[in-house]
């Protein structure tokens, strides 16, 4: 799992996750909505870029699904338009982001989640997020080099993490 000591908080560990707004989300103008929900939760963006994945990158990203009947459709969709990839950091962010996103099938996602509010079909479900620390590490390395991570202290962290606060 990608963990780093949280700046200024002794003993608190943060993790990093890859979050990607898929082509349907980009084309529908939902990038800001996705980022807003993640930042509103209190997580920090450490890297962000827009790109168009090629077939090789798509196959590497979805390698755990290779050989499954839906693999070629998945790779075809993710290469059909631009995506916005982000590295998100925060305490327990992998599980929390998966909750913010909702279930893979939007029909099973409750209102208040990205997929529950913004998606209709499983093959057009707006967003991807790492499902484990191991996946996060692999996915982040596909999209970002170490020199692309930006470390900074957010002044709002005092309001998110009580351990940091003098208040």
Fold of the domain built from segment(s) 3-164: Alpha-Beta Plaits (3.30.70)
Find the range with the poorest average confidence among 11-20, 117-126, 131-140. 11-20
Whether 61 shows a pLDDT value over 80: the answer reads yes
Quick one: how far is CA 107 from the chain centroid? 20
Average the pLDDT over 118-129 and give the result: 95
pTM above the 0.75 mark? yes
Strands 44-51 and 13-21: unpaired
Share of the chain above pLDDT 70, in %: 89
Query: Where do we find the tokens 């191991």?
Result: 134
The domain ranges of the chain are 3-164
pLDDT at 167: 60
Catalytic residue among 6, 27, 61, 128: 128
Provide the mean pLDDT of the chain: 89
The pLDDT of 143-150, averaged and rounded, is 96
Concatenated DSSP letters of 113-138? SHHHHH--BTTB-SEEE-SSHHHHHH
Rounded to whole angstroms, the Cα distance separating 164 from 148 reads 26
Is there a catalytic annotation at residue 128?
A: yes
- Please check the confidence at residue 112 and state whether its pLDDT lies above 70: yes
- pLDDT for residue 162: 74
More confident residue, 25 or 7: 25
State how far the Cα of 16 lies from the Cα of 89, in Å rounded to an integer: 4
Task: Give percent above pLDDT 90 in the chain.
Answer: 74
Residue 164 has pLDDT above 90, yes or no: no
């Amino acid at each position: 799992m990608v963990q780093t000591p949280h700046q200024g908080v002794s003993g608190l560990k943060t993790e990093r996750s890859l979050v990607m707004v898929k082509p349907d989300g980009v084309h529908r103008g939902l990038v800001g909505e996705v980022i807003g929900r993640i930042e509103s939760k209190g997580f920090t963006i450490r890297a962000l870029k827009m790109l168009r994945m090629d077939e090789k990158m798509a196959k590497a990203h979805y390698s755990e699904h290779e050989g499954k009947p839906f693999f070629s459709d998945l790779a075809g969709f993710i290469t059909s338009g631009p995506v916005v990839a982000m590295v998100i950091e925060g305490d327990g962010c992998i599980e929390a982001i998966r909750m913010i996103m909702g279930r893979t099938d939007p029909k099973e996602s409750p209102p208040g989640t990205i997929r529950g509010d913004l998606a209709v079909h499983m093959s057009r479900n707006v967003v991807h997020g790492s499902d484990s620390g191991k996946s996060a590490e692999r996915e982040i390395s596909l999209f970002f080099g170490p020199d692309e991570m930006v470390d900074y202290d957010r002044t709002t962290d005092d309001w998110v993490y009580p351990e940091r606060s003098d208040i």
